[in-house]
Amino acid sequence: MKNKLIALAVTLLLGGSQVWAQAQQPATTTAPAASVKIGYTNMEYILQNMPESKDIQNQITIQRTQLEKNYQEMSKEFQDKLAAYEKGQAQMSDLIKADKEKELQGLQQRIQEFQANSSTQLQTKYNQLVNPVMQKIQKNIDAVAKESGYTFVFNLDAGSGTIPVLLYAPEENDVTELVFKKMGVAIPSKQAAAQPSANPSTTKPAAPAPKKN
């Protein structure tokens, strides 16, 4: 009788353990996993081939030319006054010499400030012209992604200069031509060289050399 009770207890214990183990197992689902479709494009390439790009380049060139002209005029004024000072300083009193030196230092400082402000002005102008075009491109990328069932669309040239975001992708996932078609822009030839960017980042001209005592 005792053996029968022990056997019954073991059976109940084992049965309870199996129920508890099953309860701890994660619930499985039969729902199919959502498919992910990834596309990519090149925002800079699209921008360079937009009809607005030529006008942006022209406007930036015009403003850059005007700024360079103003810089040359200020630089010439500095050089002329510096030459006059060096030529006549031997006959100047200490008071007049100090005034001339102060004038030259002030002009040189204004030229250096003009250089820094010119770069900022060009970049600000570029952003004002480009931002509406970039918003237009983004809007059409969104539309292409939704119509073609893309879950994600990467920018191919993001992080350019270091390591690109997208290291490999099949050519059929390139949505660039679809975006051009969506905007009604002629698709550029793949053999054609990319146009230079309208970005105004350029090397600034050197500031006039400080006067020599």
Residues in the chain: 213
The more confidently predicted of residues 212 and 82 is: 82
Q: Where are the domains of the chain?
A: 53-183
Average pLDDT, the chain: 78
**67-114 residue pLDDT tens:** 999 999 999 999 999 999 999 988 989 899 999 999 999 999 999 999
Q: How far apart are CA 54 and CA 143, in angstroms?
A: 25
pLDDT at 160: 56
- Structure confidence at residue 170 as a pLDDT band (50, 70, 90): confident
Q: What is the dihedral of CA 59, 65, 71, 75, to 10 degrees?
A: 180
Share of the chain above pLDDT 70, in %: 69
Chain mean position to CA 135: 14
Nearest CA-CA partner of 137 in 19, 2, 44: 44
Per-residue pLDDT of 145-161, as tens digits, reads 999 999 999 988 775 55
pTM: 0.65
Extract the tokens encoding 139: 């809007």
Query: In the prediction, which pLDDT does 33 show?
Result: 59
Say if residue 36's pLDDT is above 90.
Answer: no
**Kind and range of the H or E element at 158?**
none
Q: At residue 38, what are phi and psi to the nearest 5 degrees?
A: -110, 130
| pLDDT range class, residue 213, cuts 50, 70, 90 | very low
First to last CA, the chain: 120
Closest CA to 43 of 196, 194, 184, 176: 176
The CA distances from residue 51 to 113, 137, 189, in Å, are: 35, 12, 15
Q: What residues contact 20, with CB distance under 8 A and at least 6 apart? A: none
